[in-house]
Amino acid sequence: MAESSASFYTKSTNKYSGILSWLLTKDHKRIGLMYMMAIISFFVVGIIIGLLMRLELISPGRTIMDAQTYNTLFTLHGVIMIFLFIIPGLPAIFGNFFLPIQIGAEDVAFPRLNLLSWYVYIIGAVLVLVSLFLPGGPIDTGWTFYIPYSVRSTTNVSMALFAAFVLGFSSILTGINFITTVHRMRAPGMGFFKMPLFVWATYATAWIQILATPVIAITIILVIIERSFGVGIFDPALGGDPILFQHMFWIYSHPAVYIMILPAMGVVSEIIPTFARRTIFGYKAIAMSSLAIAFVGYLVWAHHMFSSGMSDTARWIFSLLTFIVALPSGVKIFNWVATMYKGSIDPQPPFLWVMNFIFLFSIGGLTGLVLGSLATDVHLTDTYFVVAHFHYVMFGGTGTIFFAALHYWFPKMFGKMYNIRFSQIAVALYFIGFNMLYFPKFIMGYMGMPRRYYDYLPQFTTLQRISTVGSWILAGTIFFIFGYFIHALRKGKKATSNPWGGVTLEWHIPSPPPLENFVKLPEIKDDPYDFSQLKEMKDE
Amino acid sequence: MSNHSDTVHHKDNVSAKMGMWLFLFTEVLLFGGMFLVYAVYRYQYQDQFKLAAMELNTGIGTLNTIILLSSSLTVALSIAAMQKGNKFLSLVFLYCTQIFALMFMVNKFFEWSTKISHGLFPGSKELLAKPNGQILFYGLYYVMTGLHGIHVIIGMIAIAFIIVFIHRDKVTQQDFIKLENTGLYWHLVDLIWIFLFPLFYLIQ
Ligand code: HEM
Ligand SMILES: [Cu+2]
């Protein structure tokens, strides 16, 4: 038995050693870590581009770059952050690593396909990079690729679009894999309603991935064809309809925001019970609200198009539906709060990150309602208000949970503990930096500062400067975090198998986990968040 | 447990099939997007779509429909033969499928090249002289049948692999899930054509 409990770092699924044993691995844990390496690298690139844009905006007029450079930078920043960081982030890293473990499985249903989807992701990423250097120059359409400019632009739009297509393919493959895994690989006794909520959330996400991504795939293909052959489908000069492009784009891209946020909500539902030492309140309601979000999230796409030409009836219907989709999210928030109520809360770093999330995400969510209402949206659309809103939702929401998940699962993934004191400081600095960076954008947007401009009127100078200083604090904090994690990898104390007192299956096995996850098949008798088992677990 | 290797992963045919169905689902949605575009423009330019559709060669279209339907039948027969353990017959039916597929593509080639030689292709002078509705009809015609054609080619490549696998006894009576899944894919390609055919050739 000693041999089979060797960690997945020392034992591999193939006969190779060293780097090849990783590049050809079929182990979901190693693939999760490979995603982590790639995704964090692109995240850092995205941050650096963000910093450059903020530096340009430190004073009015041209500071360090011209308008065209700024155009390509916000486009790249958007494409990298959306397609390379935030969409794959949680499912591909933590979903890969923990979904099989949390349902008591040895691996995902299709390990080889899993590896393939990593390679497809890398190919997509390389294509993005290649599109920067080909003649024609980097793409400048904004990450939304709106027609007609994306057909007229002479930059490498087709290449970048194709990259997005390839990345979508990777996302679909991961989705298929996870759905099949959840249906077919659960350990004996692990009924659907005994699955941890992170699994539920990832499962719902996987459905959106396979239901929505094909629509963006065909839209992208159509734009590429339009650019190369001029078939007229989106070109008004030939009878086509640019608004149709916007519909098809958002039919994917709105559900995509749920691809981003649902797994994050799943992580929150894991962390809160663990640190409140109480079983989750309203388990079924949380599980079902994930599915409800996945479904209703399909019917609200046109709230991105209130000012682009639609009938009034369509506009108020979409506005109404947008308000309705806030309900299942509200259900989750109530259940989280109810879980904490009268719990014995242990404010360890992962929990503090979740608090950060609740605060930032609430601001993002509430300002979303401002944009979801017709009258206010017409005033605020395409201003900094929108920029602030989506950074609060995506970055403050999913981005923050990315860090929460890292702090929660790091000891399990690497078997090392990081410095708790440092991470408490990081939580505070992150909070300050984030709000300094983005809150002024709400005010500027309200005052009329449009998005996607490298220049601004002098009256915005103070607020823009505050925002730029905020970007330094935030980015500095993020690098500090990566710094203490790397330090922990090298010099950190050994982590125990259950440092936080969690009860889901991953805390029943050693840190880092053995290659086959479970030395003996787990027997599922308790509810996923039944903390009475903690005492037995200590004796194990 | 001690020799964890690839062979330990028990083969689970239900999973493999489920994965394939999910994948086919994404394909349906991909074409669904195209059908949506078609519906929008057909609604907008009804008369011109009718006019343009009259130019298409219903004969070739019908022939191709028959060919593809037959190819679906041969794939199904090939699977049935494999189930019964008749490797030879299974192979024969797969070769038939490949021939049908090839015939389909050759027809398609002639159909497209006549259109092109008449100057009917995206961006041509003749086409641009026509009203917008007809330009769109031909745009959609080339895009949708072209995309379908690519799927036919992918299907042919997949079947070629299966033929090799059967020759090498990697696909056998005990384990023919790969053949089954390829068959499913082929039926989908067929099914999409069943929708494309009336939309372009029949409704007038
Ligand atoms: C330190 C981190 C970051 C900084 C300094 C930053 C800064 C910026 C700036 C200055 C813009 C351009 C605003 C404009 O002129 O319209 C922008 C746009 C954008 N950002 Fe960020 N950002 C950061 C992180 C993120 C993250 C984590 C995400 C996603 C999860 C993200 C997603 C976007 C998107 C989608 C756009 C819109 C691009 C477009 O207009 O096409 N950003 N960001
Ligand atoms: Cu939306």
Contact criterion met (CB below 8 Å) for A223 and A231: no
Q: Is A146 left (phi over 0), alpha (psi -120 to 50) or beta?
A: beta
pLDDT digits (tens, 9 = 90+) for B77-100: 999 999 999 999 999 999 999 999
Residues 195-224 of A with CB under 8 A from B: 210-211, 213-215, 217-219, 221-222
The pLDDT of residue A393? 95
**B127 and A CB contact within 8 Å:** no
> What amino acid is encoded at A242 in this protein?
P
User: What angle do helix axes B177-197 and B132-167 make, rounded to 10 degrees?
Assistant: 160
**B30 and A CB contact within 8 Å:** yes
pLDDT at B133 over 50: yes
The pLDDT of residue A286? 92
Residues B21, A228: Cα–Cα separation, whole Å: 33
Q: Which fold has domain B23-201?
A: Four Helix Bundle (Hemerythrin (Met), subunit A) (1.20.120)
- Partner residue facing B26 (CB), from A13, A214, A229: A214
**Beta strands per DSSP E along chain B:** none
Nearest to A514 by CA among A100, A59, A140: A100
The pLDDT of residue A540? 57
Residues A381, A420: Cα–Cα separation, whole Å: 42
Nearest to B5 by CA among A115, A35, A16: A16
Chain A: residue whose CA lies nearest to B123: A230
Q: Which two tokens stand for residue B161?
A: 């692999």
pLDDT at A521 over 80: no
Q: What is the arithmetic mean of pLDDT over A438-464?
A: 97
Q: Are the beta carbons of A109 and B15 separated by less than 8 Å?
A: yes
The pLDDT of residue B6? 38
- Beta bridge partner(s), residue A494: A416
**B15 and A CB contact within 8 Å:** yes
Q: Which two tokens stand for residue B62?
A: 């019908």
List of domains in chain A:
21-539 (1.20.210.10)
Q: How far is CA A381 from CA A278, A376, A378, A384, in A?
A: 43, 8, 6, 9
Residues A394, A382: Cα–Cα separation, whole Å: 17
Sort out which chain A residues have CB atoms less than 8 A from B44's CB and list them.
241
The pLDDT of residue B178? 95
Q: Are the beta carbons of A180 and B22 separated by less than 8 Å?
A: yes
Phi, psi for A305 (deg, rounded to 5): -130, 25
Q: How far is CA A46 from CA A42, A81, A453, in A?
A: 6, 6, 18
The pLDDT of residue A504? 94
Kindly give the residue spans of alpha helices, DSSP state H, lying in A448-499: 461-491
A292-306, A391-405, A518-532, B48-62: least confidently modelled range: A518-532
DSSP B110-177: HHHHHHHHTT-STT-HHHHHS-HHHHHHHHHHHHHHHHHHHHHHHHHHHHHHHHHHHHTTSS-SS--H
Q: How far is CA A1 from CA A333, A412, B3, in A?
A: 44, 21, 11
Kindly give the residue spans of alpha helices, DSSP state H, lying in A109-241: 111-133, 149-152, 157-184, 197-229
* Per-residue b or e along A243-257, where b marks 16 or more CB atoms closer than 10 Å to that residue's CB: bbbbbbbbbbbbbbb
Sort out which chain B residues have CB atoms less than 8 A from A210's CB and list them.
22, 25-26
pLDDT at A497 over 70: yes
Ligand 1 within 6 A of A74 CB? yes
**Burial zone of A103 (CB within 10 Å; 0-12 exposed, 13-18 middle, 19+ buried):** buried
Nearest to A76 by CA among A155, A166, A169, A174: A155
Q: Is the pTM of this model over 0.80?
A: yes
Alpha carbon of residue A189 to chain centroid: 31
- Beta bridge partner(s), residue A383: A450
Give B150's pLDDT tier (boundaries 50, 70, 90): very high
Q: What is the arithmetic mean of pLDDT over A305-318?
A: 90
More confident residue, A235 or A122: A122
A4-18, A43-57, A380-394, A446-460: least confidently modelled range: A4-18
Contact criterion met (CB below 8 Å) for A244 and B37: yes
A188-192, A308-312, A512-516: least confidently modelled range: A308-312
Phi, psi for A514 (deg, rounded to 5): -70, 165
ipTM above 0.90, yes or no: yes
What DSSP element (H or E) covers B103?
Answer: helix B87-117
Give B193's pLDDT tier (boundaries 50, 70, 90): very high
The pLDDT mean for chain A works out to 93
**Percent of residues in chain B assigned helix, strand, coil, to nearest 5:** 80, 0, 20
- Partner residue facing B1 (CB), from A4, A218, A221: A4
